[in-house]
Amino acid sequence: MRIEIWADMVCGWAYIGKRRLEAALADPAFDGVPVEVVWRPFRIDPTAPARSAPLEEALADPAVDTALRVCAPGLSPGENRARVSEIAAAEGIGPRWGAAWRASSHDAHRLLFLAHEHGGAELQNAVAERVMRAHFVDGADIGDRRTLAAVAAEAGFAAGAALLETDAGEDEVRELLLIGKARGVTTSPTIVVGDRALAGAQPAEVIREFIARGGHRRELPDEVERLRHAEALLDRRDPLGSLVLLRPLLDAYGDDRNVLMLAARAYFASAQLGRARATLERLVGDTPDDSYARHLLGRTLQRQGLAEQAVPHLSMAAAMSPEYD
């Protein structure tokens, strides 16, 4: 059984969720059941600066207030910190509790991804434990690569320090963040088993019952799953994210009509009208009776200020499909 935890290393609930998941998995019902726990990235504060700032100063920034509410909907950052501190103590995390820095977690997520790539789920879990302990218990700055290097060494991932000084994991982490968004992950932590998700650091008994029910996720070819995620991002009004996921498909399957149509829609939605027009003209040339492609081409030409060129395409689309009239 694979359990995914989509979480941010700077979210206190993620650390509490880790403890509660461990307690849930300690239930005798799971004895002998092979379980793999994999950490996936989520950002509650994507605007955190590359250079960390003291948290007390950062909390005065309204943008930080808004970001931290993603970690605890309905609570102010102050209320959340007080509640998390009490619960963390009850879960045995401590003795001291409290982050000291507003730190970007991007490199921490890279470190976790690389740990999984080099040593699997067990090493990744050890790194996750030490990263969150450094942030919440030791008050260390996990936005500093020197801190992460020390954390990696403590976890048995000595190669992590050198890898962080390269661009290793950059693209993969950014793609995983987009995939999480496409799959509907909106809070930290979110535990996923198969096609089922449990949002928040729920009590251990709730997590145990959730895991016991299992979950099946249909295995699809990587290309098909990537296309579906790209389409989901477009539906979630993130055309630029959609294009990031589409890029490998455009490189490898640039003649595939489904790939080209989704790219055209994303170009149009992101106001890349020149690229949208070129792609749609190709699609219309290949399949003149595609009413949607003609309609979108006409709308693209309109937005480019080419009303006369747009009319024939819009008229033909309306004649073929009345909903475009």
pLDDT confidence of residue 71: 67
CATH number of the domain residue 271 falls in:
1.25.40.10
pLDDT confidence of residue 66: 66
Last residue of a domain, one of 212, 233, 253: 212
Last residue of a domain, one of 157, 190, 212: 212
Amino acid at 100: A
pLDDT confidence of residue 72: 66
CATH number of the domain residue 117 falls in:
3.40.30.10
Distance CA 34, CA 20 (A): 18
Tens of pLDDT along the chain (325 residues) come to 999 999 999 999 999 999 999 999 999 999 989 999 999 999 998 888 889 989 887 777 776 666 666 666 666 666 777 788 888 888 888 777 889 999 999 999 999 999 999 999 999 999 999 999 999 999 999 999 999 999 999 999 999 999 999 999 999 999 999 999 999 999 999 999 998 999 999 999 999 999 999 877 778 899 999 999 999 999 999 999 999 999 999 999 999 999 999 999 999 999 999 999 999 999 999 999 999 999 999 999 999 999 999 999 999 999 999 888 7
Tell me the sheet residues that pair with 193: 196
* Domain annotation covers residue 217: no
Last residue of a domain, one of 212, 235, 270: 212
Is the domain of 125 the same as that of 43?
yes
List for the chain the helix, strand, coil content (%; round to 5): 60, 5, 35
* Domain annotation covers residue 107: yes
* Domain annotation covers residue 303: yes
Question: What's the half-sphere exposure (Cβ side, CA atoms, 13 Å) at 129?
Answer: 17
pLDDT confidence of residue 90: 86
> In this structure, what DSSP letter does residue 322 have?
G
Is the domain of 272 the same as that of 192?
no
Q: Are 314 and 297 contacting, i.e. CB atoms less than 8 angstroms apart?
A: no
Looking at the structure of the chain, the number of domains it has is 2
* Domain annotation covers residue 228: yes
Is the domain of 8 the same as that of 120?
yes
Distances (CA, A) of 174 to 163, 170, 192, 283: 17, 6, 19, 30
* Domain annotation covers residue 226: yes
* Closest listed residue to residue 103, CA positions, set 73, 79, 67, 153: 67
The whole-angstrom distance between residue 181's C-alpha and the CA centroid of its chain comes to: 5
3-class DSSP assignment, residue 138: coil
Is the domain of 233 the same as that of 308?
yes
Is the domain of 247 the same as that of 178?
no
Q: Provide CB contacts within 8 A for 104, sequence distance 6+.
A: 45, 48, 49, 50, 52, 143
3-class DSSP assignment, residue 53: strand
pLDDT confidence of residue 63: 67
Instruction: Specify the residue for token string 């982050």.
Output: 99
Is the domain of 267 the same as that of 178?
no
Is the domain of 196 the same as that of 230?
no
Q: Are 4 and 192 contacting, i.e. CB atoms less than 8 angstroms apart?
A: yes
Structure tokens given for 48:
């955190």
Is the domain of 99 the same as that of 180?
yes
Structure tokens given for 301:
């030409």
To the nearest 10 degrees (0 to 180), the angle between helices 239-252 and 170-182 is 120
pLDDT confidence of residue 158: 95
pLDDT confidence of residue 69: 64
Give the domain extent around 199.
2-212
* Domain annotation covers residue 307: yes
To the nearest 10 degrees (0 to 180), the angle between helices 273-286 and 257-269 is 150
Is the domain of 16 the same as that of 44?
yes
* Domain annotation covers residue 269: yes
* Domain annotation covers residue 31: yes
Is the domain of 34 the same as that of 175?
yes
Distance CA 313, CA 26 (A): 63
Is the domain of 292 the same as that of 170?
no
Please, is 248 exposed, middle or buried when counting C-beta atoms within 10 Å of its C-beta (0-12, 13-18, 19+)? middle
Is the domain of 275 the same as that of 249?
yes
